Amino acid sequence: IERDRLLAEVENLSANSDGQSHKLQDVHSQKLKHLEAQIQDLKKKQENQVQLLKQKQKSDDAAKKLQEEIQSIKAQKVQLQQKIKQEAEQFRQWKASRDKELLQLKKEGRRNEYERHKLQALNQRQKIVLQRKTEEAAIATKRLKELLESRKCSTRDNSVMSNGNGNHVQVNFLVS
């Protein structure tokens, strides 16, 4: 506004051609140049301010984006920690179940081993009893054969004697 006023004054003064008006014209011209230099300086400052505002906006946007990423990473970290905790609990339960099953299998194995030894001992005793009975049966069979053989011989001898006397005598043997 002041610039426009000075320009108008310069034009008015240039219409007057005397020496004093020339001097005034120089003064006004200097003021005008000074004002134009100030305007250029202000324009540069304004452009710099606009650039700074743009950079600040970019910086704010980047900071906001980083903050969002940080929040996202924190949320992922919480989810991951919960998942790790859940999987650790599942593994603990699975391991406890496997350990219990293993103990049960070991106990069952010991019981089966005990039963096997028991059956082996029973089998061995039965073998011994069977062998003894077999031996006793063999001895009894042998004695029976001997008695039967002896009886046959005695019966023949008695038959011969009774035939000689004309009397028939029957002899009974007891087998023990």
DSSP string, 110-156: HHHHHHHHHHHHHHHHHHHHHHHHHHHHHHHHHHHHHHHHHHHHHHH
> How far is 176 from 168, CA to CA, in rounded Å?
26
**0.85 exceeded by the pTM?**
no
Contact (CB, 8 A) for 13 and 29: no
At 18, phi and psi to the nearest 5?
Answer: -80, 170
What pLDDT score does 172 carry? 46
> How far is 159 from 153, CA to CA, in rounded Å?
10
Instruction: Name the DSSP class of 103.
Output: H
List the chain pLDDT tens, one digit each, 176 residues.
776 776 676 666 555 555 566 676 777 788 888 888 888 999 999 999 999 999 999 999 999 999 999 999 999 999 999 999 999 999 999 999 999 999 999 999 999 999 999 999 999 999 999 999 999 999 999 999 988 888 888 776 666 555 555 444 444 444 44
What pLDDT score does 139 carry? 94
Contact (CB, 8 A) for 4 and 28: no
> How far is 163 from 157, CA to CA, in rounded Å?
10
* 28 closest CA partner among 12, 42, 17: 12
Structure tokens at 72: 């996202």
Contact (CB, 8 A) for 11 and 28: no
19 by Cβ neighbours in 10 Å (0-12 / 13-18 / 19+) ranks as exposed
Going from N- to C-terminal start, the domains of the chain cover 2-143
Residue 173 three-state SS = coil
